[in-house]
Structure 1
Amino acid sequence: MDTEIGGLNLDWIPLSGIRLAKAGVQFDAVRIDGDAGRCVADAMEELTGGDPGPIVADALGSRAVYFLVPPRSTSHRSWPAVAVPFNSGPRYASYVPVPALSGRTWPLSWRFPPSGPDRFVHTPLLNSVVQQLR
């Protein structure tokens, strides 16, 4: 399935509904649950002038927030316990829920949709903000 934003092809986003994307291919992700995740998303928005990169929010359960970062950028960093990195390796795989840009995607939604094919959350900045949560 192909999805376009401003003429840019982002084929990892479903045309409708939700799909699980394998982390480490198009992107890695960092999940932060609850109010902490929302607080980090707010801080990232402020620090980046309103364009922090793609962030997905879940309205149910632990109310997870997924920060989509460049592929292979999470595995060699130290993350506090509040942040769960999603990536893949030779013997394991992580999957991240990705909603369509519009339509019925509840309980997932784009807190900040992608703005380009190679535009992701800045991993070192995210790590720094999460480290400050402690």
Structure 2
Amino acid sequence: MTNAIHRPQWVPVSGHRLRVIGVHFDVVRIEGGRGEAVAGRLIEVTDGDAGPVVLEQVGFRWTYFLLRPGTVHRHAWLPGVQRFGLNARDMRTVTYVGIPALDGNTFPLRWYSEPTPETPYVDPDSLLTAVRTAQADREEPHRE
């Protein structure tokens, strides 16, 4: 779904651009199929309004969940979940993430879920619930 009416200033008009993490948003990053499973669960948990989630379509296929600046380090994330944001202990580290435009060719990035006026950022508590649920699904023995 394209939400061209609502385009935060950090979302480029076309293509994709690198943005500094911790300025406009913090990021939780999860690799591959696990990240996509968490994104799917997040959309379920939030009744379809998950907030901004970006997916890499090649390579490690990282899924990036964009949280309100200053929130990522306030939560205890499960192993395998990487967090990025400004940290008072390490202010010298600068990290970037690619952000796609809402329309047009944005390969190799795409929106899994776009920011909306109601949900400009992913809610960390909803994301934690989605991470735990997806993890429990992975650990459940397969039944035949």
Give the TM interval when normalised to the shorter protein: 0.7 to 0.9
Q: 1:116 Cα deviation (Å)?
A: 2.1
- Partners of 1:83 and 1:104 lie apart in 2 by 28
Change (3 A) 1:104 1:121: same
Correspondence for 2:140: none
Structure number with the higher helix fraction is 2
The correspondence for 2:83, drawn from 82, 85, 94, is 85
Structure number with the higher strand fraction is 1
Tell me, yes or no, if structure 1 residue 108 matches structure 2 residue 109. yes
Deviation track 1:27-70 (CA, whole Å, cap 9, x = no partner) reads 11111111111110111111111111111111111111101111
State the TM-score, normalizing by the size of structure 1.
0.87
Identity across matched positions, percent = 36
| Matched length | 130
Tell me, yes or no, if structure 1 residue 29 matches structure 2 residue 30. no
Correspondence for 2:141: none
> Structure 2 regions of 5+ residues with no counterpart?
137-144
Tell me, yes or no, if structure 1 residue 130 matches structure 2 residue 131. yes
- Partners of 1:117 and 1:51 lie apart in 2 by 8
The ranges of structure 1 where at least 4 consecutive aligned residues each deviate by more than 3 angstroms after the TM superposition are none
* Matches for 1:7-46 after TM superposition, within 5 Å: 8=6, 10-46=8-44
State the TM-score, normalizing by the size of structure 2.
0.82
> Structure 1 regions of 5+ residues with no counterpart?
none
Task: Give the greater-gyration-radius structure (CA).
Answer: 2
Aligned-residue CA RMSD (Å)? 1.8
- Partners of 2:131 and 2:119 lie apart in 1 by 23
Q: 1:9 Cα deviation (Å)?
A: 5.2
